């Protein structure tokens, strides 16, 4: 996006990528259909040490600008849920748009080109790559984060930032499944593949989405979202009754069908397997009429505020994003240029701006790339 925008302004642009194919993360994104933006993208959907930093770029290249580009290329798409826009066919449709635009604007892309060394010169930068020395006036670092190392992710962007004296905030995996190793592991194994709607909360942030039990722990959109807000050792709270009051539901059922067993009621709400585990580990199953008020209150408390302490996360191996990165206080929010080193720009995931699940990370990549492309 940065290369396209700069080349359209008449700049001579060379893109170097050490990968053998361009846009690998685009290709693997959104389950092969690239969730390329979100209709409701707002600065509130991003995590950063400075919550204001992303505002300028997001407002100057919005989701509607990217949607217009997708429309211009006639790529069909649909809203899956919650404003998330996915390709009807495949992720490569989005990559083709970018490559077409690059070609039209005269961008040169060299693949299999890692960068061995970067030095600052009086007129710009010198790069050592594949046995050659290249010179440029500006240098844009768009090397992404650390997630999915098997796809070529490296810490190169952070290394360059540090080489030039820029502060880099501690990084950690975000939008990542939780691992579970304690007694809850049995639930994960027995319920693997089961999805449940919930509201999950941690550190003052909540998401109403589904979560999924897996052999390794807890995943699904709710868990991926909250993982970005979670710190090691903390508990998350899961409300298994996201659409109403558990207490009112239990009370009403007790009145309506007093002879029904709790386990039967729970298996109607969840699944038989879930109800069985709940009644093995949490509740004694009896006829509803036999529960007194404090007992019902304790059941509803467990259902609406189930506390889980994850053992950890699956880490960068499966994370969709990297939290932290180049400190935004080092960069201009208008241009993405380093305040210390003129001509040095950072865009995309390498910066300490991380979106929620749902197309927000690509929108940040497009918007920050566009912002730099206007000035580079």
Ligand X SMILES: Cc1cc2nc3c(=O)[nH]c(=O)nc-3n(C[C@H](O)[C@H](O)[C@H](O)COP(=O)(O)OP(=O)(O)OC[C@H]3O[C@@H](n4cnc5c(N)ncnc54)[C@H](O)[C@@H]3O)c2cc1C
Please report, as ranges, the residues that interact with ligand X according to CB under 6 A: 16-19, 24-25, 28-30, 34-35, 114-115, 142-144, 147-148, 152, 154, 156, 320-321, 348-350, 359-362, 365
Shortest distance, position 29 Cβ to ligand X, whole Å: 3
Look at residues 350, 163, 355 and name the one whose alpha carbon lies nearest to residue 372: 350
In this complex, which beta carbon is closest to ligand X, that of residue 41 or of residue 246?
41
Closest approach, Cβ 110 to ligand X, in A, equals 10
3-state secondary structure of 128: strand
Helix (H) or strand (E) holding 15: strand 14-16
- Quote the CA–CA distance of 46 and 321 in Å, as a whole number: 12
Tell me whether residue 217 or residue 358 sits nearer to ligand X (CB atom).
Answer: 358
Alpha-carbon distance 58 to 227, whole Å?
24
Nearest CB to ligand X, comparing residues 28 and 210: 28
- Residue 354: CB minimum distance to ligand X, A: 8
Q: What is the DSSP letter of 291?
A: -
**Cβ of residue 305: shortest distance to ligand X, in angstroms?**
31
- Which sign does the torsion angle of CA 182, 185, 186, 187 carry? positive
Minimum CB separation of residue 238 from ligand X in Å reads 24
Question: In terms of CB distance, is 148 or 226 closer to ligand X?
Answer: 148
Residue 236 CB-density burial (10 A; 0-12 exposed, 13-18 middle, 19+ buried) = buried
Closest CB to ligand X among 98 and 240? 98
Terminal C-alpha separation, the chain: 12
Q: CB of 351: closest distance to ligand X in angstroms?
A: 8
CB of 20 to ligand X, least distance (A): 9
Give dist(CA 93, CA 26) in Å, integer.
10
Q: Which is nearer to ligand X, 17 or 209 (CB)?
A: 17
CB nearest ligand X: which residue? 348
Q: Pick the closer one to ligand X by CB: 24 or 269.
A: 24
Decide whether 98 or 278 has the Cβ nearer to ligand X.
Answer: 98
Measuring CA to CA, how many Å separate 310 from each of 26, 123, 223, 225, 316? Answer: 30, 51, 10, 14, 16
Q: What angle do CA 203, 209, 214 make, to 5 degrees?
A: 90
Question: What is d(CA 66, CA 74) in angstroms, rounded to the nearest whole number?
Answer: 13
**Shortest CB 124 distance to ligand X, Å:** 18
Pairing status of strand 195-202 against strand 321-326: unpaired
């Amino acid at each position: 996006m940065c290369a396209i925008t700069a080349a359209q302004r008449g700049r001579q642009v060379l893109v170097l990528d050490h990968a053998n194919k361009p846009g690998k993360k685009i290709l693997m994104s959104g389950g092969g259909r690239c969730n390329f933006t979100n209709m409701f993208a707002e600065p509130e959907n991003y995590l950063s040490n400075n919550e204001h930093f992303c505002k300028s770029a997001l407002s100057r290249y919005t989701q509607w600008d990217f949607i217009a580009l997708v429309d211009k290329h006639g790529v069909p798409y649909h809203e899956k849920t919650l404003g998330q826009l996915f390709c009807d066919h495949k992720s490569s449709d989005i990559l083709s748009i970018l490559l077409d635009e690059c070609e039209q604007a005269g961008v040169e892309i060299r693949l299999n080109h890692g960068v061995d060394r970067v030095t600052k010169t009086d007129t710009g930068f010198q790069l050592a790559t594949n046995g050659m020395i290249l010179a440029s006036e500006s240098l844009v670092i768009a090397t992404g984060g650390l997630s999915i190392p098997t796809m070529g992710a490296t810490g190169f962007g952070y290394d360059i930032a540090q080489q030039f004296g820029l502060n880099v905030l501690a990084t950690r995996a975000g939008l990542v499944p939780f691992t579970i190793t304690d007694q809850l592991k049995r639930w994960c194994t027995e319920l693997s593949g089961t999805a449940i709607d919930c509201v999950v909360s941690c550190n003052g942030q909540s998401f109403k989405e589904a979560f999924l039990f897996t052999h390794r722990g807890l995943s699904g959109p709710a868990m991926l979202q909250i993982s970005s807000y979670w710190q090691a050792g903390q508990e998350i709270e899961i409300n298994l009754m996201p659409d109403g009051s558990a207490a009112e539901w239990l009370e009403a059922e007790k009145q309506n069908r007093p002879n029904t067993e709790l386990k039967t009621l729970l298996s109607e709400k969840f699944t038989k397997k879930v109800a069985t585990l709940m009644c093995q580990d949490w509740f004694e199953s009896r006829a509803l009429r036999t529960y007194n008020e404090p007992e019902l209150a304790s059941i509803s408390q467990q259902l609406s505020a189930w506390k889980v302490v994850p053992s950890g996360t699956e880490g960068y191996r499966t994370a969709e994003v990297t939290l932290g990165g180049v400190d935004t206080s080092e960069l201009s929010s208008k241009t993405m240029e380093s305040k210390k080193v003129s001509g040095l720009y950072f865009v995309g995931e390498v910066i300490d701006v991380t979106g929620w699940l749902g197309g927000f990370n690509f929108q940040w990549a497009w918007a920050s790339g566009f912002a730099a492309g206007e000035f580079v």
